[in-house]
A and B are shown apart, each in its own frame.
Chain A
Amino acid sequence: ILNVEQSPQSLHVQEGDSTNFTCSFPSSNFYALHWYRWETAKSPEALFVMTLNGDEKKKGRISATLNTKEGYSYLYIKGSQPEDSATYLCASVTGNFNKFYFGSGTKLNVKP
């Protein structure tokens, strides 16, 4: 079992604030790192899939970076909006049959 940790567990910010979260994962047998956005009462939806050390991905105001050597990924949200409120999950994928190991998520609440 892979230990994937996310911090902080929860975050409350004001509309317009920029914020970031961390995902830590074991760097051995690394295959890919996924980020998902999970709104209450819905299913997780993919944000990014990253594979290479130094990868940076961007989608609108959300971006992510990857460091496979030290085993961490950051997710950034610029100018948070209330609609960004959700739980953000990361998953480390191993080379063995592409097993997904999810972190417990960071729950973001953006206040208007």
Chain B
Amino acid sequence: DTAVSQTPKYLVTQMGNDKSIKCEQNLGHDTMYWYKQDSKKFLKIMFSYNNKELIINETVPNRFSPKSPDKAHLNLHINSLELGDSAVYFCASRRTGNNEQFFGPGTRLTVL
């Protein structure tokens, strides 16, 4: 009965590969987010979808492409992985309004 789930939890891959991280929420929320936790432990927003529509797209390389097949899912596909992509990626969801975010457990991506 996990509220926000991410798969995989750990991902180790070679430079140049293409990989995807999946996120699902069963809370009935209408907005989902992807964050990257950088080397200084900051959570930096990457993308946000509201009702399957992209509403926030921060300055992220276009190798990163989010996809929202429905309101409960927001997947992140990364092409041509680079060493600098190594980080923990967090998915989150919330209901629009003055409501808190619910975070997934994070996916630790290591690019070798």
Contacts and interface: CB of A to CB of B under 8 A. Distances in A.
Which has the most chain B C-beta neighbours within 10 Å: A43, A44, A97, A102?
Answer: A43
B101 A100 contact: yes
Given A46-B101, A49-B98, A49-B100, A97 B48 contact: yes
A105 B41 contact: yes
Interface in B92-112: 96, 98-106
A96 to B, nearest CB: 9
A44 to B, nearest CB: 5
Given A32-B98, A43-B90, A100 B45 contact: yes
Interface string A77-112: 000000000010101000001111110110000000
B43 interface: yes
B100 A104 contact: no
Given A32-B98, A42-B105, A46-B100, A97 B43 contact: no
Contacts of A102: 35, 42-44
Interface of A: 32, 34, 36, 42-46, 49, 51, 87, 89, 91, 97-102, 104-105
Interface residues of B, number: 24
A98 B99 CA distance: 11
Contacts of B44: 102
A104 B105 contact: no
Contacts of B55: 97
Nearest to A89: B43
Contact of A43 (B45, B56, B104): B104
A46 B102 contact: yes
A32 B40 CA distance: 24
A51 B55 CA distance: 22
Contact of B105 (A43, A46, A101, A105): A43
A44 B33 CA distance: 14
A97 B56 contact: yes
